[in-house]
Amino acid sequence: MSEKSKKSVPPSASLSAPKRSSGRRTHTSQFKREAVELIDREGVSVAEAARRLGIDQTLLRTWKLKFQEQGDQAFPGAGQRTAIEEEVRQLREENARLKMERDILKKATAFFARESK
């Protein structure tokens, strides 16, 4: 490889995209944050950052917008939910439990109403 074809890469660009095992690649929340920071902190264009990191420009733009809108909550990580998603999950779980309790009480009321006749 000639010296002309080598590109100088700043230390922050030492990020490497996860290896593709089969199908889609998954990226850690740290990788996403550092990719967005590369654009913001160093003033690198989205296209250049995407080229350096070996990812699609559209994907990097999506990450950037998500990070701008949600800040630290943008990339909760695999298996982790944002605060709102976690609250919705808990409320749905509670709602299901309350419906079950209500149905049991309805059946018990009907049973005792028949018994008292």
pLDDT in tens, 4-24: 444 444 444 455 555 555 567
For residue 16, the 8-state DSSP code is -
Q: How many residues does the chain have?
A: 117
Which of 16-20, 50-54, 109-113 has the weakest average pLDDT? 16-20
The dihedral through the CA atoms of 106, 107, 110, 111 has a sign that is negative
The dihedral through the CA atoms of 47, 48, 54, 59 has a sign that is negative
At 109, the pLDDT band (50, 70, 90 cuts) reads very high
pLDDT in tens, 71-85: 777 776 666 677 788
Query: pTM (2 decimals)?
Result: 0.48
> Is pLDDT larger for residue 51 or for residue 5?
51
Burial class (CB in 10 A: 0-12, 13-18, 19+), 58: exposed
The confidence score (pLDDT) of residue 106 equals 96
